[in-house]
Amino acid sequence: MGMTRRGALLVTASSLLVGAVGCGAPETPGDTSGDTSGEVPQRPGRAVTLNVLDVAGNLQLTQGMIDEFVSKNPDVISRVTYSKAPAPELAGKIKAQQGADRVDIGLVLTGVDGLAAGIEQGLWVDVLPAFSDRLGGMRNYLEPAAAMQKLAGNAGVTVTYYPSGPLLEYLPSRLATPPTNAQALLAWAKANPKRFQYARPANSGPGRTFLMGLPYILGDSNPKDPTAGWDKTWAFLKELGQYVDYYPSGTTETMKNLANGTAHLIVSTTGWDINPRVLGTVPKDAKIATIDGFHWVTDAHYAVMPKGVSTDTQAAVLALLAFMLTPEQQAKAYDEGYFYPGPAVKDVQLTSAPQKSQDAIREFGRPEYDALISGNPTEVPLDAKSLVAAFSRWDREIGGGKVKQG
């Protein structure tokens, strides 16, 4: 299930979005303008159809939460539809709907990339501080998740969290001893051309994490400033790129390439290590390694509402998000390790997760993760403007000409 959903993110978004728009039911009579300036009620005047767009693979973690809310609250949400799209296409699609004054997507589930692009273009409703009283679960965030929430400004609400990476992943049958420092990685890539791989950062969590993690590993002057503070990082990536055959457009292809032998060493994260092995996409005996001096660059998934949705839809989404941030629902975020651990709030143990999640993590999880998570610094990703600048420069100077669709 997990890899199928992630693979779907690489499907062209236009057909999916047409489906989402086409099946959107009209809003409550008298509230069809999409004006967000009016007072948002505690509950919608009439149950709404909620169209959810996922550009982060987040539904793998949260669809169970959403479906349970809908089943328990048919007077708030009568029906929910789901669609998926690649993150780089999100802003353009939402902007097009807003320009046509027909915003039928009520909830977007996105990573830092889509969040950042939407903030830069002013696409999202400011949920905070106006509705903080309705989202009490936000006061129970884990400390790193709370830091990720600050990154979202007023627009996004953190719904899942994980420490992410960067990690390296390999198969012991093909690589006995992985490189464990930056210079050794360069030397290994030079000696093994076309065998190291990571996906385009703008459309890959591990690729993005690798990009943002290198400034800490290399000791750059300002890890938060990709324009003026990443001299060592950009030089390293250019040199490394000489030995990279191509950059896949998404992470799934790197996993498949690791399994089939096209790549012998790839960039990974905790979730991308565990879940593909659960699914059988990557052999169970795959191993992970860290690079000396690494910091976790944390990651989160966010819920955002596009400007232009009706006040009734906003009321329904706010009630849904409050439900999703309860510990009982957050336990579902363990999933099968896709965003390991997954919960964004405190005191959510694996023993509270569905049995399927418990079984998967116990079989495919790694005991060393607890020590790695507690023993290394955590850093929030770049802010929206800096992240967009980093993606643009990577596309322009590093790998844009070598990106291939899977």
The structural domains of the chain, ordered by start, are: 48-162+299-357 (3.40.190.10), 167-293+376-398 (3.40.190.10)
> Residue 185, SS3?
helix
pLDDT at 406: 59
Please list the alpha-helical segments (H only) found in 56-204: 59-72, 90-99, 112-120, 143-151, 182-191
* Tens-place pLDDT, residues 97-149: 999 999 999 999 998 888 988 998 999 999 999 999 999 999 999 999 999 99
- Give the pTM: 0.81
Sequence-separated (6 or more) residues with CB below 8 Å from residue 394? 200, 201, 202, 211, 237, 400
Helix (H) or strand (E) holding 158: strand 157-165
Which pLDDT value is given to residue 30? 33
| C-alpha triplet 272, 277, 278: angle, nearest 5° | 105
What is the model's pLDDT at position 384? 78
- DSSP secondary-structure letter at 82? E
* pLDDT for residue 383: 85
Q: Which tokens belong to 248?
A: 């896949």
Which residues are paired to 297 by β-bridges?
Answer: 165, 379
Per the prediction, the chain carries an average pLDDT of: 90
Phi/psi of residue 31, each to 5°?
Answer: -140, 45
Q: pLDDT per residue over 180-223, tens digit each?
A: 999 999 999 999 999 999 999 988 889 999 999 999 999 999 99
Q: Which of 294, 319, 295 is nearest to 305 (CA)?
A: 319
CA–CA gap between residue 115 and residue 54 (Å, rounded): 12
Could you tell me the two tokens for 153? Answer: 């400004």
Closest to 205 (Cα-Cα) out of 338, 353, 351: 338
302 to 156, 159, 216: CA distances (angstroms): 6, 6, 25
Question: Is beta strand 403-404 parallel, antiparallel or unpaired with respect to 48-54?
Answer: unpaired
Instruction: Please identify which residue in the block is written with the tokens 């790129």.
Output: 241
Taking each continuous run of H as one helix and of E as one strand, the counts in the chain are 16, 12
Q: What is the pLDDT of residue 179?
A: 98
Structure tokens at 372: 């790695």
On whether the CB atoms of residues 179 and 170 are closer than 8 A, the answer is no
Show the tokens assigned to 313.
């839809």
Residue segments in the chain with a per-residue pLDDT below the cut of 70: 1-38, 406
With beta carbons less than 8 A apart as the criterion, state whether 301 and 383 touch.
no
Which two three-digit tokens encode residue 109?
Answer: 């589930």
Per-residue pLDDT, 299: 93
Query: Which pair of structure tokens corresponds to residue 333?
Result: 């975020």
Residue 100 backbone dihedrals phi, psi, to 5 degrees: -90, 0
